[in-house]
């Protein structure tokens, strides 16, 4: 099982430095990434990732969007929208 998580939009400043198009993967219950993964972003996604990793799509949509709850921290106001691509789920 594999989910692709992509930065869809950055408004203002992201404390983790994410830019549109940055991505990482959730595969076999592990995060796989060549970029740092922000704990605030990951915590915003954990419930939907858990459901999707168990074959449950609670929203019934092809794509799921999640907004990070940490609006830039001490660096200023900001917002990051992540897209979790359900189509990229691959059975092992």
Spans of all domains in the chain: 2-88
* Residues 43-81 pLDDT 10s: 889 999 888 888 888 788 778 899 987 665 555 667 899
Residues 4, 33 contacting (CB under 8 angstroms): no
Choice between 5 and 78, residue whose per-residue pLDDT is larger: 5
pTM of structure: 0.82
Give the integer Cα–Cα distance in Å for 82 and 21.
Answer: 10
Give the integer Cα–Cα distance in Å for 64 and 73.
Answer: 24
Whole-angstrom CA distances from 59 to 45, 63, 70, 86 are 14, 9, 23, 11
């Amino acid at each position: 099982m594999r989910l692709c998580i992509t930065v869809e939009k950055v408004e203002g400043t992201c404390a983790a430095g994410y830019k549109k198009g940055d991505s990482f993967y959730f595969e076999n219950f592990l995060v796989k990434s060549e970029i740092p993964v922000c704990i605030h972003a990951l915590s915003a996604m954990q419930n939907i990732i858990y459901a999707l990793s168990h074959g449950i799509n609670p929203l019934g949509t092809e794509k799921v969007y999640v907004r990070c709850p940490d609006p830039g921290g001490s660096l200023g106001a900001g917002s990051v929208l992540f897209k979790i691509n359900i189509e990229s789920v691959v059975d092992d």
